[in-house]
Structure 1
């Protein structure tokens, strides 16, 4: 199990490295402060962003390898250590001082999320998700996420980072739930990969990626990454409970501790969102608009 723990930690580092590499290109990409779908096509042509994507994909693969040799209750919490890696790497890449307050807030998010992941029981029963239910689920997440994307044009950068990361995390959490169903089915029948669930997983993953990169684009990388780390597994667990019939903490003590863990993670994320050391490149690419600009600019305007 020792090697599985080492692999899980390496995977967490790779995920954090990939996201930190993607941040700068997300900020530098042309377009409005909340970019459209073509923004992803632009990023896909940037070598550093592609390198970040490769690092993130490596992290996911290492996470899956670790899961094959160690329990979910051990591997999932280890993945949360990526938040501290991400805070440090982003500061180093942007030549900023690493602030103690950010590290403490990141640690609070980690402790809260580890507690939440540990308290939720993990079912071994094969999940079943009918296609009509999957369509309703992904459609609902996409509709709510689109509304959040539109609202994001009108709010300040800090809250915008958290808002976009919340909906991006919800989309990626939905992707995780769909992928789990497909993966379990493919373990016994490889043709299960060629299904509507796979197509829905890819579509909602692309949508989540758009929101995720726009969250990084705000310059509040630590807040965005922390929010994604919290929302993704919470939404995945919620889908498991509400749709796939998985279990929840049953004792009053476990429920109280789970609620406390959520509050701790939210508090840490709030501190990160309010941090003043925003990526300095944002000010050069997205100057603070005047009152006249705000009146005459509409959502999606490239100015």
Structure 2
């Protein structure tokens, strides 16, 4: 059990390290404040961003190894410790001082998310997801994500980070739900991997990645990362309850605690999205973009 806890913490660190490395190239990539799909093609050609992706993948792998040796109720909460790692690493890479308020807000998000992960029961039943339901889920994510992506062009940086991270987290949570169904099917029939659900999962994951990297691009990395940590499992749990037949907290007391935990996580995320927590490099890029688009008449 002890080694599984250590592996889970190492996985949380790797995931935070990978995301913090990705932030720098997401900010520096050319394009407007909300970048298009070609933005991802630019990123995959950047060595640092690729290294960050490998670190994040290693973090996911270590998390799965830890889950193989310890209960979900122990390992899942340990995964959210990556938020504090991410806050410190992002500040270190951009040569900023870590604010005490950021750490307290991060601790609030962690506490809320740990509460949610602990209070929701974890079902071992095999999930069933018809293709029609999967298409409805992915179609809803595509419509909501596209609408949010378009609106984000007119939203200030802090709220934009949260908006894009919410939509990206929803897409990645949907990917997790689809992947869970595929993994359960593949356990008895390996050919299940080569099906429509896998294609849908990949498409939604790419779309979620575009939204996620655009959230990092705002310079409000801590808020974006915290939001992703909250929304991804929340959406996955919601799909599990509403579509896959999984359970919710049974007693009114547990339901009230879950609601309180969610509010605590939301409050912490709101603090992290405040302007003074923004990466100065993103602020400079934003100012440069504004100057480029300023007309001669405006400059006088």
The TM tier, using the shorter chain, reads over 0.9
Aligned to 2:138: 138
| Cα distance in 2 for residues equivalent to 1:280 and 1:291 | 17
Q: Report which stretch shifted further, 59-68 or 260-269.
A: 59-68
Contact 1:102–1:275 at 8 Å: present in 2 too? no
1:293 is displaced (CA, Å) by: 4.9
Secondary structure, aligned partner of 2:69: coil
**TM-score, normalization: structure 1?**
0.95
5 Å matches for 1:188-227? Answer: 188-227=188-227
Secondary structure, aligned partner of 1:69: coil
1:173-219, Cα deviation, whole Å (9 max, x unpaired):
00000011111111111111111111000000000000000000000
1:3 is displaced (CA, Å) by: 1.0
Give the helix-richer structure, 1 or 2: 2
| Cα distance in 2 for residues equivalent to 1:127 and 1:292 | 52
Q: 1:6 to 1:292 in 2, by over 3 A?
A: closer
Aligned to 1:107: 107
Secondary structure, aligned partner of 2:96: coil
Contact 2:219–2:283 at 8 Å: present in 1 too? no
5 Å matches for 1:31-70? Answer: 31-70=31-70
**TM-score, normalization: structure 2?**
0.96
Aligned to 1:161: 161
| Cα distance in 1 for residues equivalent to 2:265 and 2:288 | 30
Aligned to 1:298: none
| Cα distance in 1 for residues equivalent to 2:264 and 2:185 | 36
1:292 is displaced (CA, Å) by: 11
Aligned to 1:185: 185
Aligned to 1:301: none
Contact 2:18–2:56 at 8 Å: present in 1 too? yes
Secondary structure, aligned partner of 1:244: coil
5 Å matches for 1:1-303? Answer: 1-287=1-287, 293=293
Contact 1:108–1:264 at 8 Å: present in 2 too? yes
Q: Report which stretch shifted further, 187-196 or 202-211.
A: 187-196
1:168 is displaced (CA, Å) by: 0.2
Gaps of 5+ in 2: 296-300
| Cα distance in 1 for residues equivalent to 2:113 and 2:133 | 28
| Cα distance in 2 for residues equivalent to 1:68 and 1:34 | 39
- What stretches of structure 1 move > 4 A for 4+ residues in a row? 288-295
| Cα distance in 1 for residues equivalent to 2:184 and 2:84 | 31
**Corresponding pairs, count:** 295
1:256 is displaced (CA, Å) by: 0.3
| Cα distance in 1 for residues equivalent to 2:150 and 2:278 | 23
Gaps of 5+ in 1: 296-303
1:284 is displaced (CA, Å) by: 2.6
